[in-house]
Structure 1
Amino acid sequence: MPYASVNNIEIYYETHGTGPPVIFAHGSGGNHLSWWQQVPYFSRSYTCVLYDHRSFGKTNDEIPPLGRGAFADDLRGLLDHLDFKKVAIVAHSMGGRSGSMFALRNPERVSALVLSGSNGGSDNEEARKVREIHKSKPPYNPAGAVRALSPQFVKKEQEKSFLYRQIMRSNPPHESDFLEVPKHLIGRSTHQKFNKLSIPTLFITGEDDILVHPETIRIAAELIPHSEF
């Protein structure tokens, strides 16, 4: 099993296929296994890299005091380890913050950015009002994470629902507030920087998403010139 020594931790990753590199960054309810539907298709034409964020899957390490801000540094270290100069990034939910922060810090190394179910860490008063209205940001806990699966989906797709729950449960246990932004970083958002991104960016959302409301994603998408939503 391949690991990359990055920032004093061992990051687990896998590569599949050949071609231009595409990095897949998972959300807080998943890990590298989350991409089981995408990899068989995209690996026909691309080198697909799956990895586990620190404290997820097979990358066993605590989230540091800098919180999720360290995820972008970890991603850079992984790309350096793989000797990839430029990549496309496909990121879901929490992984969208990793991808967008990396792109803002290293725009020359990103050919395209796809954010699914994520506003990329963008936040402002308008987005906060939307979240409050729709109650779209419940606290994380091992049972609550499955709220990402709508009742309709669970009823219609019982096998997939079971699989997603099993993937989630394969992660190490986390504290209930492990995704909270550290106090010294509150107020620092990608929102004010998104208009500087010139990277082709695609935002994807589910119209009934109850965790990251589509309206908050639209607000973020409008900041990036020529992005698609």
Structure 2
Amino acid sequence: MHYEETGKGYPIVFVHEYGADHREWEQQVRFFSREYRCITFDARGYTPSDVPEDPRLYGQDFAAADIAAVMRHLGIPKAHIVGLSMGAFATLLFGIRYPQMASALVVAGVGSGSNLAELDAWRAASAERAEQIMKQGWQDLALEAGLSPTRIQLQKKDPRGWNDFVAHLREHSPLGSALTQRWYQGARDPVYAWEVELKTMMVPTLLALGDEDGPCIEPNIFLKRTLPNCGLWMQPRTGHAINLEEPAAFNREVQSFFSTVERGRWSLDA
């Protein structure tokens, strides 16, 4: 797996979304590396990390375990974990399965594909999308993705940042993206399936969400009601890629969250 680290201090591990890679955390790395050791990495299926050809090497179990593997390789026993979308899903699962390795979780834009009434349709659409990516690649599909209802906000706010997002997406491996779409995005659990585990997961957690990220609003309300040690921050007039759309606000809220956790003042019982 390809990883990069910047800065010194307490470690933060950033976990990217499906449509991005380690480069989309640049504005967070530049900000937090002043005081923290920042680690970004590319998930399996995203070059320059390996792109396994075996579909059995993709999925939610690998996504959570890969965070732990990167940390162990770097000799990091415990860290703050920050994830967006697909990466937020992995971050949340990491908190359930590896709570001893997480000092704080930032779970941003999580919940797509969790609507139970539409779950079968989500899985079918993911399989169809995977076939489309495998056949066509990202050259034209990246533009389509960038103009989707929860992405168009980035183009309106930051045209250059949106251009970078689309350009980076066009560089992704069609094979890796297709297998990730089919066996991770399309086959993962809805967050509601973890209700029992979430009720006992005590890692300090900040849920971050744009108010125009429609598919993720209800799952985040569920998480707020279920996680015993979490807070919910919603940024107005913002879509899915909250860290790209509103980097100053995102960095500020995450910094405040980390500071509160590090001072031992996050828990309402503290």
Find out whether 1:47 has 2:52 as its counterpart: no
One of 202, 214, 219 as aligned partner of 1:216: 219
CA contact (8 A) 1:197 1:224 kept: yes
Equivalenced residues, count: 208
**What CA RMSD, in Å, does the superposition of the two structures yield over aligned residues?**
2.8
Structure 2: gaps of 5 or more residues = 233-270
Q: Indicate the residue corresponding to 2:258 in structure 1.
A: none
Describe the shift of the 1:100–1:152 C-alpha distance in structure 2 as closer, same or farther (beyond 3 A): closer
Q: Indicate the residue corresponding to 1:3 in structure 2.
A: none
Find out whether 1:29 has 2:19 as its counterpart: yes
Find out whether 1:61 has 2:51 as its counterpart: yes
Give the distance between the partners of 1:12 and 1:181, measured in 2 at CA: 25
TM-score (norm 1): 0.80
Give the distance between the partners of 1:215 and 1:188, measured in 2 at CA: 10
Runs of 4+ in 1 over 3 A off after TM superposition: 137-142, 148-153, 185-189
TM-score (norm 2): 0.68
One of 164, 176, 187 as aligned partner of 1:181: 187
Give the distance between the partners of 2:149 and 2:8, measured in 1 at CA: 32
Describe the shift of the 1:213–1:149 C-alpha distance in structure 2 as closer, same or farther (beyond 3 A): closer
Give the distance between the partners of 1:59 and 1:18, measured in 2 at CA: 24
Describe the shift of the 1:148–1:191 C-alpha distance in structure 2 as closer, same or farther (beyond 3 A): farther
Q: Indicate the residue corresponding to 1:164 in structure 2.
A: 165
Greater percentage in helix: 2
Give the distance between the partners of 1:200 and 1:153, measured in 2 at CA: 29
Identity across matched positions, percent: 25
Deviation string 1:6-65 (CA, Å, 9 cap, x unpaired) is xxxxx1000001110000000000110010111111000100000011001311223742
Question: Partner letter of residue 45 of structure 1?
Answer: E
CA contact (8 A) 2:116 2:190 kept: no
Question: Partner letter of residue 145 of structure 2?
Answer: A
Q: Indicate the residue corresponding to 1:192 in structure 2.
A: 196
Question: Partner letter of residue 208 of structure 1?
Answer: E
Describe the shift of the 1:192–1:40 C-alpha distance in structure 2 as closer, same or farther (beyond 3 A): same
CA contact (8 A) 1:32 1:57 kept: no
